[in-house]
Structure 1
Amino acid sequence: MNYRHADLNLLKVFEALMTEGTVTRAAEKLSLTQPTVSNALRRLRDTFDDPLFVRSGAGVKPTRRALDLWEPLAQSLHAIRSTLDSERFDAVQSTASLSIAMSDYVASIVVPRLAAKLSRSAPSMQIHTIPNTLVDFGPVLADNRADFAISVYNEEVQRPAFLKSRALWSPGFVCVMRAGHPLDRSERIPLKKFLAARHVDVSLAGKTLPSYDVFLRSRGMQRNLVVTVNHYAAAYDVVRRSDLIAVLPWSQALEPERMAGLRHAPVPLEAPPRVIELFWHQRHESSALHQWLKNVVLGLFEKPRT
């Protein structure tokens, strides 16, 4: 693309298609007609000699070339907008609606703190949570079904280039059981008794093996897993009402009050630590709204950097 002959107005259309995911929404954002946006997309394709966006369901997905272009262009467009716009994002007046993919465990920690913060700084903003299953939040962000995800990343899968993230906190794991459980008599549970006990665990996707069992198998061990559920709240209730035990995440200083009637002890075989991160699609790098909410979440949970 030759700068001297480039139509820089086309970059606004490129940005709208990246951030909105459909020609219709891009046209609405730019106050243009759909044929005008479609014509601009044709000119963009000719300019960059690439399709840039391909049909996907009811919307469009960026090609590899579009993703490569987006990061530097998003930063440049954001800088230009910040310089030229007389208006800045006003959180107090904002009526924006944003969605965040997270598990019920993460939601129990994040939502109360985030809601309290927004009630003071953005009282008319709406936040919606949607289920997160660990394995699908990348496509959820790519398809614009969520603005953010707060989750642990599955390290067995390579991160897509569009995925941006910042670490928030690292939960540990504890063995949870009901008060009065036979294993509640000692501070540390012997490994053999731990593996033989009847376990319940959480598989958010409903089918995949819980991460702790994957870890045990890597060590040549197997526990007596008899029940899996797809919500953490259900796991706590199962443990509270039975002799089953569970290995559940433990976020020191962040845990809500949900341990009534329960005890927790160190896990005899400690799994490698996991990191809960805030994820977003790089298409939102130029959005003042998304940058504002990202900074709010980071301010609430991000660990100080050393």
Structure 2
Amino acid sequence: MNSTNFKTADLNLFRVFVTLLEEKNATRAGERLGLSQSAVSHALRRLREMVGDDLFVRGQTGLRPTPRAMEIADTARTALKLLETAVLAQRFDPRVDQHAFTVAAGTYISYVLGPLIAERVMAVAPNVQVHFRSLYAGMTEDLDTGRLDMVIGCFEAVPGRFTHTRLFDESGVWVVRVGHPAVAGGIDLEALARLPRLGVTGGNDDPDRTSAGHIGLRRVTSWGERYALGDDARQPFSVQDSFSALSMISRSDMICILPRRLAETAAGRGKVVMIEPPAPPPPTPFGAVMRASDGADSPNGWLLDVCREAAEGL
């Protein structure tokens, strides 16, 4: 594309382009945009001429973006969202406005942070709803398209079209059940190192890719291996989350790493004994991810402030 072509470009063509990326079908894209299939095809032909690339090829599952289309996809999405935000000049008033948020977060986040978020929302925003759902494959694409407002978790990689706000840090601690014979006479780390271990996998650790094929959020699914306690320990069982691990630990002689806040609650109820790791690593950061185009005055900007305030209460 040369500068002359772009100066005379119809920016609506990029709305068609982004919708085709998401729908992978010209008919469905037209339905979303209020255009006929022929109008979508015409717009795509004009965009192909402007860019100098086919942009999409037909595949078994619908239209498949070319490498060039994938190169410009993130920029096109972000630019359209920024234009929408600028034109609408949306300012959210939680005291009177109605809004429903959808937040993807792990069970532990909902347990630790959810009550503090609910307390604040119910106190100042009577018409607001916040719906938590589990982390899932495809959440990056839902965040892109607005079907999801925020993802809260621990991430190894966050694409540049999103923002990441650190909310709180968490560390781990070893736990065994109350009455475990290995701690009856005091804490012996060498003896504990020989105990069978319960692993916590955290679920699928594959990168979350969008349907357009580019990398999405990549989250940390397990950080317990950083807490050394001997080498080559036997791990006869693993579970998908810390709450399942807590239940299994309370009825077995295994040892396990749990998030500190959960372990402290369980220890306070007489369920487990906490054992500090001999060489603890740095705490693990947890944060909120949103679209970079969500401004401070938008509903999502307000929700982020609520999450920050809630995290300060941990």
- The TM-score normalised by the length of structure 1 is 0.70
Deviations 1:153-202 (CA, angstroms, capped at 9, x unpaired): 3x5xx665556433222211111222233344577x44312211232231
SS at match of 1:224: coil
Q: Equivalent residue for 1:212?
A: 224
The one of 115, 118, 124 equivalent to 1:115 is: 118
1:244-263 matches, cutoff 5 A? 244-251=254-261, 257-259=265-267, 260-261=269-270, 262-263=272-273
Q: In structure 2, do the counterparts of structure 1 residues 30 and 6 end up closer, same or farther at CA, with 3 Å as the change threshold?
A: same
Q: Is the Cα contact below 8 Å between 1:201 and 1:229 reproduced in 2?
A: yes
Match of 1:46 in 2: 49
Q: Output the amino acid matched with 1:202.
A: V
Q: Deviations over 1:197-235 (max 9, x none)?
A: 23223112379995434765xx98222322211122111
Contact in 2 for aligned 1:176/1:264 (Cα 8 Å): yes
Give secondary structure in 2 for the equivalent of 1:192: helix
Q: Write out aligned runs for 1:258-277 (5 A).
A: 258-259=266-267, 260-261=269-270, 262-277=272-287
Structure 2 residue 242 is matched with structure 1 residue 232 = yes
In structure 2, what is the equivalent of residue 201 of structure 1? 199
Separation in 2 of the partners of 1:174 and 1:206?
Answer: 23
Q: Secondary structure at the match of 2:191?
A: helix
Provide the C-alpha distance between the structure 2 equivalents of 1:115 and 1:57, rounded to a whole number of angstroms: 44
CA gap 1:44/1:99 in 2 versus in 1, 3 angstroms: farther
Q: 1:249: Cα distance to partner?
A: 1.5
The number of residues matched between the two structures is 288
Contact 2:16–2:40, Cα closer than 8 Å, also in 1: yes
Partner of 2:16: 13
- Does the 8 Å contact 1:177/1:239 carry over to 2? yes
**Aligned position for 1:94:** 98
For the 8 Å contact 2:174–2:277, the answer to whether it is kept is yes
Give the letter for the 2:224 counterpart.
Answer: Y
- What are the within-5 Å matches in structure 2 for residues 114-263 of structure 1? 114-119=117-122, 120-121=124-125, 123-131=127-135, 139-142=138-141, 146-153=148-155, 155=156, 164-184=163-183, 189-205=187-203, 211-213=223-225, 216=228, 221-251=231-261, 257-259=265-267, 260-261=269-270, 262-263=272-273
Is the alpha carbon distance of 1:159 and 1:33 closer, same or farther for their aligned partners in structure 2, counting shifts above 3 Å?
same
Give 3-state SS (helix, strand or coil) of 1:125's partner. Answer: strand
* Structure 2 SS opposite 1:150: strand
User: Aligned partners of 1:118 and 1:184: how far apart in 2?
Assistant: 44
- Once residues 295 and 30 of structure 2 are traced to their aligned partners in structure 1, the CA distance between those partners, rounded to angstroms, is 18
RMSD: 4.3
> Can you give the 5+ residue segments of structure 2 that lack an aligned partner in the other structure?
207-220
Q: Percent identity?
A: 27
What is the rounded CA distance, in whole Å, between the counterparts of 1:296 and 1:115 in structure 2? 9
- Cα distance in 2, alignment partners of residues 166 and 57 from structure 1: 39
Measure, in 1, the Cα distance between the counterparts of 2:74 and 2:177: 50
Aligned to 2:249, the other structure's residue is in SS state helix
1:244 is matched by which residue type in structure 2? M
Q: Secondary structure at the match of 1:275?
A: strand
Query: Quick one: distance in 2 between partners of 1:11 and 1:206?
Result: 34
Residues 206, 229 of structure 1: 8 Å contact kept = no
Q: Which moved more, 1:231-240 or 1:119-128?
A: 119-128
Alpha-carbon distance change, 122 to 34 in structure 1, aligned in 2, over 3 angstroms: farther
Letter paired with 2:245: A
In the alignment, is the contact (CA less than 8 A) between 1:213 and 1:223 conserved in 2? no
Uncovered stretches (5+) of structure 1, i.e. residues with no partner? none
1:77 Cα deviation (Å)?
4.3
Give, as a single letter, the amino acid of the residue that structure 1 aligns with 2:191. K
Distance 1:89 1:53 in 2: 38
